Homo-oligomer: A and B are copies of this chain.
Amino acid sequence: MTDTKTRILDLAENLTQSKGFNGFSYLDLAAEVGIKTSSIHYHYKSKADLALALVERHREALEAAFKRLDDDVANPADRLESIVTHFKGYIGEEKICMCGMMAAEFESISPAVRKALALYFRDFQNWLAKQFSALGHPNPPAVALQYVSALEGSLLLARLEGDASVVDRSLDGFVNT
């Protein structure tokens, strides 16, 4: 069994992706984990601490995923497809990108979390730029920004329409131009 601290984080991640970081309370976490709210405070002193842990773990997970793709998948186009498939999977669970959600909630998060979020998106773009570079794009950083923007926006629309193909259609044309 995974330890409580991790279970809390897993649950908070899920809830953030569906209802937003301000859309759940320590009571929701406690009820689901099966402990009291005060015990959640034991693991994460404040909700701001929880937010930071959430974003930092997420960035590490992203980096690990990139490393795995770099090692296991030879073709950059296939790597991109694999990443998009991952994000598309959120739609079926009525979720969106956790960091996209937090970026929307920008005004109610601490400076530390804002910095962590910005780092997440920069890491994301850097990796994307490498893939586009390998694919021979003339301006990899520019296309990487366009890709992330389109991805994040498409997740909002896809969930609204209940149609994951919105993501594919929004990203169509980035690889084969």
A residues touching B (Cβ–Cβ < 8 Å)?
A: 18-20, 22-23, 94, 96, 100-101, 103-108, 114, 117-118, 121, 142, 145-146, 148-154, 156-157, 159-161, 166, 169-170, 172-173
Contacts and interface: CB of A to CB of B under 8 A. Distances in A.
B157 A103 contact: yes
Contacts of A23: 22, 105, 107-108
This chain's copy number in the assembly: 2
Nearest to A103: B156
21 contacts: A19-B107, A19-B108, A22-B23, A94-B107, A96-B104, A101-B104, A103-B159, A114-B160, A121-B160, A145-B169, A146-B170, A146-B173, A148-B153, A149-B157, A149-B166, A149-B170, A150-B150, A152-B152, A152-B156, A153-B153, A153-B156
